[in-house]
Structure 1
């Protein structure tokens, strides 16, 4: 299970309704205009619940990634608020948490998506 201890979480209120935020997150041309992933980052949809929640698998390759490739999940949660806007929650969590050097685990822990 992904917990806030394993993730970067950002929350804020947006003036736009969930439907408009959803379009910004789910239409590739709109997503690229504000997210602009680099060439060594691949995004693929894992789960989607229209106007409510969207999870991408964020796959990062390159020198900075652990063992050449690093996967994580980026989840956008959208909740309508009383002012007609959206409560926005972004959670970026690793899919694999490396075992500590002094751990008895044989391999890294896999987190459930």
Structure 2
């Protein structure tokens, strides 16, 4: 995976990290905020309370993008001096290193 494969969004939020964390981890709040499609499966990969959270984002069904069924959605939260949160969202495809004996150049996307 290269840096250009990821989509990164950063902004300041007018809420403390604890409140943003709740919006990312309580299913009812997450559903309202992300509005995940019924064919989308989110599962927690790593979590550090009020700081960092990574979901595995798996798309299925007719709307799935070929080769993009699995990706990682990482949220990074940092407190700001004014009591808010610096919010960083990174959405990156899951990539596996290519075996040395492979005919494929670069990295290979993990297939579902």
- Ranges of 4+ aligned residues in structure 1 off by more than 4 Å: none
Q: Could you state the TM-score of these two structures normalised by the residue count of structure 1? A: 0.81
Pair 1:66 & 2:66 matched: yes
TM-score of the aligned structures, taking structure 2 as reference length: 0.82
Q: In structure 1, what is the Cα distance between the partners aligned to 2:83 and 2:106? A: 46
Counterpart of 1:109 in structure 2 is 108
Query: For 1:11-90, what aligned pairs fall within 5 Å after superposition?
Result: 11-63=10-62, 64-66=64-66, 70-90=69-89
Q: CA RMSD of the aligned region, Å?
A: 2.6
Give unmatched runs, 5+ long, in structure 1.
none
CA distance, structure 2, for counterparts of residue 23 and residue 13 of structure 1: 17
Please give the secondary structure, in 2, of the residue aligned with 1:19.
Answer: helix
Cα distance 1:14–1:43, how it changes in 2: closer, same or farther (>3 A)? same
In 1, Cα distance between the equivalents of 2:74 and 2:109?
17
Q: Distance in 2 between matches of 1:42 and 1:54?
A: 16
Matched residues, number: 105
